[in-house]
Amino acid sequence: MAVVTAAPVTLSDSQLLARFAVGERSVLEELFQRYRGLAYRVAYRLLGNEADALDAVQEGFIKALAHLDGFQGRSTFKTWLLRVVSNAALDLGRQRGRREAQSLESLARSDHEQQEPLTLEDPAHRLHRGDLRQVLDRALAQLPPAQRQTFVLHADAELSYREVAEVLGISIGTVMSRLYYARQKLRALLQPWMKS
């Protein structure tokens, strides 16, 4: 006779927050584990620097925990947290003078001057995944902050237009507009590395 074991119960964010509200502090670890990877990806894409992204995630989680009583449930916890983390990342980027943006811009200019456009079909010049990621990071760094934030939340965090609108406190039409212009600029910036 086979013994049937119950599958582990995964509590929803709402259930975890309800437990936190009655004093069960240990649930915060579950929320952190659930969203730390996603929060890091968003912060990294906004800042382009691993150390800064880790700082932004830490700062974002600290701010979120400090203001958890202010979370009113009008959006999902995930979108609220990503708003806090992305704002922390943008604040950190402004505070540090966006030193990476200037160095990436000069690096992109020197790389562009030294390399001929590559095609993905040419095996001798095929871009490695890491190289492509660097090229994309440089292009993202050249987007205006509002477009970069919108693009990262949609593309890297895989949020819907509605969720991005909730995170940023803007209309869905504004999300669509920012994404359109971000894609246009990225397409132009990445054109030298793509087959025509």
pLDDT (tens digit, 9 = 90+) per residue, 91-118? 888 887 645 445 545 555 544 444 444 3
Using one digit for the tens of pLDDT, what is the confidence trace for 70-93? 787 788 889 989 999 999 998 888
- For the chain, the domains span 13-98, 100-196
Global pTM?
0.69
Domain boundaries 100-196, corresponding CATH code: 1.10.10.10
In the block, tokens 């920012």 appear at: 178
Give me the mean pLDDT over the 2-29 stretch: 81
Alpha carbon dihedral 26, 60, 34, 149, in 10-degree steps, equals 170
Give me the mean pLDDT over the 155-175 stretch: 91
Q: Which CATH class is domain 13-98?
A: mainly alpha
For residue 44, what pLDDT is reported?
92
Give me the mean pLDDT over the 52-60 stretch: 92
For residue 130, what pLDDT is reported?
60
For residue 67, what pLDDT is reported?
85
* Close Cβ partners of 57 (under 8 Å, ≥ 6 residues apart): 36, 39, 40, 43, 85, 88
